[in-house]
Amino acid sequence: MLTRRTTLGLLATAPLGLALAPRAALAREPEVFQNPLAINGYDPVAYFTMQKPVAGSDAHKLMWNGATWLFSSAENAATFEANPRAYAPVFGGYCAYAASKGYLAPTIPEAWTIHENTLYLNYNLRAQELWRQDIPGNIAKGLANWPGILG
């Protein structure tokens, strides 16, 4: 029978044992943030043409870079298909601020920035505010971390 002191001693050493144990390989995150659609089902072209987030439609969708992208019109889908890298957000639509800090975070459609004709998304409006305090510096840091932070 284990005494309380022995049990507490075993529990205290458990974290150390777990830290030293070999870890199972974690699956790599997808290159595009999907929830389950790319960038929450919003039209990436609309950020450029309408200067706001616009929900996409199942009637206008296409596959690119391992994800399903929705568009608000056939014209926007065709525009994206002709040059997806010009319209897809940097860091696969994951939070650009989080990428600059070395980790992944999901995004919301309302927290976005177009800087030098490139789309960046953020986790929330506070992350967007922090991101905008040093956009060039945050881009440089994010690019240094990308794509290594995918796992």
| Residues 82 and 103 reside in one and the same domain | no
**Distance between CA atoms of residues 142 and 145, nearest Å:** 5
pLDDT at 29: 87
Please answer whether residues 102 and 41 qualify as being in contact, where contact means their C-beta atoms are separated by less than 8 angstroms. no
Q: Is residue 48 part of a domain?
A: yes
Q: Which residues span the domain enclosing 99?
A: 89-151
Domain boundary (65, 86, 107) is at 86
Instruction: Walk along the chain (151 residues) and give the pLDDT tens digit of each residue.
Output: 444 444 334 434 334 333 333 333 457 888 999 989 999 999 999 999 999 999 999 999 999 999 999 999 999 999 999 999 999 999 999 999 999 999 999 999 999 999 999 999 999 999 999 999 999 999 999 999 999 999 9
Q: Is residue 131 part of a domain?
A: yes
CA pseudo-torsion sign 56, 57, 58, 64 = negative
Cα atoms in the Cβ-side hemisphere of radius 13 Å centred on 128: 17
